[in-house]
Amino acid sequence: MSLLGLVAALSFTPCPAAADDTAFNALIASYERWVDQSFVEQAISLGRETDRRSITDSSIAGVELRQGELGDFLLKLRAIDPSSLNELDQLDWRLLERELDRSVRGHRFGAWLMPIGQRGGPHQDIPQLAEHIPLRESRDFEDLVARLALYPEAVRQCQTLLQRGLSEKITPPRVIMQGVVEQFDALKSGQLREIETALRSMPAANPAQGELQKQLLASFSKSREQILKELAALRTYLAEMYIPACRESISCADLPSGAEAYAFALEGFTTTSLTAEQIHAIGLSEVSRIRAEMMEVIRRTDWWLTQPEARPAPPPESSTPASSATPLRTDEGMFADFLAYLRTDRRFYFDTSAELLSAYRNICKRTDAQLPGLFGKLPRLPYGVREIPRFMAPSQTTAYYMQGSMETGLPGWFYANTYALDQRPKYEMIPLALHEAVPGHHLQISLAREMEGVRYFRRDYSSTAFVEGWALYSERLGIEMGFYEDPYDDFGRLLYEMWRSCRLVVDTGIHHLRWPRERAIAFMSENTALSSLNIEREIDRYIGWPGQACAYKIGEIRIRQLREQAEHTLGTAFDLRAFHDRVLSAGAIPLDLLELRVREWISECELKLPALPVAPVQTQKGI
């Protein structure tokens, strides 16, 4: 048995019950069917069999029913002795046990009672329904229209969840609900045009199809009227009752069981046992290290050449009075001046959205050509670049990735924010594209989705520390691709690494040390070149999603440590392509299991190394 299999077998004390592969296979199959029937929209987007004319039940009764069913799955799983399974099934057992255990234990903290915010809710999900599902056959369009008729009730259910949260004093901070009402207003003015456009694209090659399209558009018109009516009622409820009643505090520690909930979130997002204090300290250490590297890069820019500090010192015999010499600035002063330059000089910003999107596409094209030198296996699924929908862009972050599916014929999409172009600098574009597209999210997630010989739940399994840690690690791969020769681009790379390091400090500062929002904003402003708009959006994201922002840097640090260990152990025999393939080969697994797999690979590589020649024993000969 391998090291991984041995650890998996020894790490659990199962209930005293006998089980074999057959029982485990049956349980996994039942769980996968349950997921596809319970979360319909996700199943459709992934091309899986489900009830295509239903939607996820978001009622309180539906949520509680699912929790009970998850608990049943967990009990049945723990009744199976993992040591009775083969090595691959042991890994599946362990991953599923973690997933179910966290779902069951985390329910009591009540995050499900806060279903609306700047980054999500029915007002964002509904208009994007047609964007992330296959629409090719008549049946696809019919099923979409049938599901749309169910969304008015889903919107009402959302309001019921919010009301329950109010009664239990589980609400988001009021400050992060700013802009949500405006999103509803923008949606109303849009009249769900995105869905209507999709329906009008339905093929109508014959009279029967043309008649069907007319019927579907008529049905959609009725559903749209009801959906917009319910969304308008929800908007009024939010503006007049819910948001005014949301809590003033921004720390999740002020929620019921908040301190425990934050520790639980950190454990889940980082897949480590690091405490908030330890994560805060790691963040401060990384900020200090990166700040020193940033100053070195600043001294390579053309801006530096314009500074008095860059000019040669006058000769000793100079008659220039000491009092008239330009006073030297500290590194802190130089850093602040450089940030001000980056934020205000027009050379770093585009004038049009089209220019911004075109530049991202060019970066992605350049990156594609570099991938075979870094990876032995690449995904089949293509990806594209598009702008974040206008109605939600003002309150969204800089970019995000939306996965696609070979089964449904949908590509992956790298979404870039084109709102407020004077806040979207060119020097951040390379690391952002590497993070969101390739070799970051698109490459990693697509490879996981395309794994062969594994169960569906494994392809969908996602550890945030792995997913985001890999994407941050990918930004640094731009060095090996030769993308950061321009010092401004290199500063952009360091800016993004600093940004994620600041997250460790700010997230724990807000939710553990109870920092006020202003202090968090100030810390980010002092240590990054992010625009004021981006900083505020980021801080609000950390406030509304406790612990998630810590996953990026913790995951990246662990992946880099594993690479350094492999390079040190294997020396000239180290193969970067093979290392990357090993890291990505099991999907987005927790960091402790990743470490086991990489160490196992290093041991296997060591066994293949040629034996060092043994020097002959020297013996003393007599005369």
pLDDT tens, residue by residue, 300-317: 999 999 988 776 656 666
Average pLDDT estimate for 86-110 = 95
Least confident of 266-270, 532-536, 550-554: 532-536
pLDDT tens sequence across 278-302? 999 999 999 999 999 999 999 999 9
Predicted confidence at residue 397, as pLDDT, reads 80
Question: Look-up: residue for tokens 């454990």?
Answer: 267
The winner for highest mean pLDDT among 18-27, 527-536, 551-560 is: 551-560
Predicted confidence at residue 162, as pLDDT, reads 97
pLDDT of 400 above 90: yes
Percentage of the chain exceeding pLDDT 90: 78
Q: Burial level of 423, CB count in 10 A (0-12/13-18/19+)?
A: middle
User: What is the residue extent of each domain of the chain?
Assistant: 3-249, 276-308+331-551
Amino acid at 119: R
pLDDT tens sequence across 119-131? 889 999 999 899 8
pLDDT band at 3 (very low <50, low <70, confident <90, very high): very low
pLDDT band at 617 (very low <50, low <70, confident <90, very high): low
Average pLDDT estimate for 154-172 = 97
User: 422: closest CA among 533, 568, 572, 314?
Assistant: 533
Q: Which helix (H) or strand (E) holds 71?
A: helix 60-78
pLDDT of 144 above 80: yes
Q: How far apart, in whole angstroms, are the C-alpha atoms of residue 241 and residue 181?
A: 12
User: 58: closest CA among 126, 139, 132, 127?
Assistant: 126
pLDDT tens sequence across 579-595? 999 999 999 999 999 99
Predicted confidence at residue 602, as pLDDT, reads 98
pLDDT tens sequence across 40-63? 999 998 888 899 999 999 999 999
Asked if residue 49 lies in contact with residue 42, where contact means CB atoms within 8 angstroms, the answer is no
Integer angstrom CA distances of residue 359 from 140, 327, 355, 364, 477: 35, 41, 6, 9, 19
Instruction: Return the higher-pLDDT residue of 476 and 14.
Output: 476
Predicted confidence at residue 473, as pLDDT, reads 98
Instruction: Return the higher-pLDDT residue of 599 and 620.
Output: 599
Q: For the stretch 524-557, what's the b/e string if a residue is b when 16 or more beta carbons lie within 10 angstroms of its beta carbon?
A: bbebbbbbebbbbbbbbbbbbbbbbbbbbbbbbb
Average pLDDT of the chain, as a whole number = 91
pTM metric for this prediction? 0.87
Average pLDDT estimate for 405-414 = 92
Least confident of 249-253, 509-513, 613-617: 613-617
